[in-house]
Structure 1
Amino acid sequence: MANEQDFLDKKIQEVASSSALNKYYIFANDLINNLLDKKKRASHDTECVFGCIYGATLSGCVQKKLAIPNVSCGYLVFLHHLKKKDLIGRNTDLLQQKHKNILEWIEQCIEKMKKQGTHTIVRRHSESSLRIKWKGVEYHIVIACTFSKRQYCEFHYTQQNVHVYPFSSEQLQMAANDLIDEAPIHQRYIKQMSRANKAWTKFLEKNMSASLSLLRVYYMREELVGKNTRSAIMFLKMWQHYQVKDKKHLSNNSLEIICVHLFDQLKNKSQPNLTIFSFDIIEEFFKFVAQFKKPISEVLSVEWPYQDKYLLHSEDVKNFKRTLNPGSI
């Protein structure tokens, strides 16, 4: 199994190299610089809705280093500071409208830049998010409020014109400590609003998810979940993309949580110091998924998620299938 693990790790490294992931940061900073320039120009004439934004973070699978280049979407969160006293009663409606206005302003800026020749596409726009393709890289853009100004997320924090960046272990630990302290504040307001208005509650839950998204990065780091678990996650993300991309499938966060859970289960069942390989987790994943399917009357073949790099010939696959019993994976 060790040889298979090495092979998988090598293939994943080829696909998700550091240089490939770095493009997400480069183009996100390019987008932010363009928006800041637009804000500066707009401020000469009138107050710009983007003026309240103090910083941003590129979170999600890119920050987790679990992104598949040309497939995964960068999760770009723009942040503004909100005083606790301002989040009362119907102010939540005003806050929702504020987020909506900022997203609309961003979309308008992108459309203008598109007309000026910038290679960009607006994929989808909802009240709470904007999905774009900026110079070939896809981003999911959201707005979130924070109850303190996070210095490590402020514009130009590391250097001029660099706003989002890959966090080091120390920086991620610092951010996690900060966000763990802030999480109860979000939860308290959600609990208060749940008695008043379901729409407000849903909005605040989405805001908390975006605002604290770096915590999900912290809890998916290699030293906590293991390298092999992360490799299993990457394999399954690629498998989902190539095999079920046009069908309903698990979100990235759900897939990651399931894999970590399966790893913990295997670890608890196994002997101490026994290595849990990626393909152990992958096998358990498909067993888990099969529980929610109709009874399988024939062999379920799980294809390798590389369409252009076949590892086996078709005849090899047929021969292997003949060795399996009905219902096998």
Structure 2
Amino acid sequence: MALPLVDGSGLRMESRSSRKRNTSLVCNVRKRCGFTITTKRCCRPSTHHAAIFEQGHTVGDWAKKLFPRGIDLGRLTGFEKPVRATHTALRKGRAIFEASFTYNSCFSRADIIVPTEDGRWDIIEVKSSGAPDDIGDLREVYLQDLAFQRYVYEGAGLLVRNSYLLLLNKKYLRSGVIDPQQLLARVDVTDRVNALLPRVPAKVEEMRGGLALSQCPEVKVSRHCSTPYDCALTDACWSFLPQSSVFNLRDGRSKPWDLLARGILRIEDVPADFSLNAQQSSQVACHRTGLPYMDQHAKQ
């Protein structure tokens, strides 16, 4: 039986740098897939995330200037048409933007693939974040994305040599016209991506499980809702909170989670013996009384 294509957007793998169990995978895959399939509704990005995506598109346009003879397949939609166009473009031996591949019911689209002298291809993933001074400070999720891409591309028959991240060069100072060669920094992450490859098949199977759900599962809200990114289902999953919830506590940090674990949702219901700083205590008092806060020292 043919399975729906997995696009890897929910793929999150544990790494040595993160020993605790990554529950964001469970939520991103099981909850998001279940929500989409059972409600027939797609997760629309917020205005904030839409702005981030637009910024990424802008950086991607600058990245394309590094390969002036590149073939751009970005306007093609769907699955079959981009894949067919990619197979045709591969024969031309030029850089390809938005090349598409399918393998094992998985679909992935590359920002850039570049042919090498030995007949293989380099994968380049473009990000709108700054290049860190230490490669060890790279966000793990970037490497996980590339690992999924390499899994799909090699499974589809593409001979891959190296994997790169193309990031903004924080040390670049513009003088006149923007120089894309100076604006962007290419970081070789081949070894780290290859180390993650053996874990990809198991994660793909987890995503299949999410796609096969007959109903949307119940997943409690937790810190994983914003790890590694803010979840697109936040509005739906967090709708049980009142307007003046404990998450509106000023500089609350872990305190809202402690209160939520005790079943306390509203600011005015925070117990008197719960540890709060002066500002938070004033905030709670205002919600209880419905009266504005008056700074007595300033009044004097």
Instruction: Give the TM bin, normalised by the shorter chain.
Output: under 0.3
TM-score normalised over the length of structure 1: 0.22
TM-score normalised over the length of structure 2: 0.24
Which structure dedicates a bigger proportion of its chain to helix? 1
Q: Which is bigger in relative contact order (C-alpha 8 A, separation at least 6)?
A: 2
Could you say which structure has the larger radius of gyration? 2
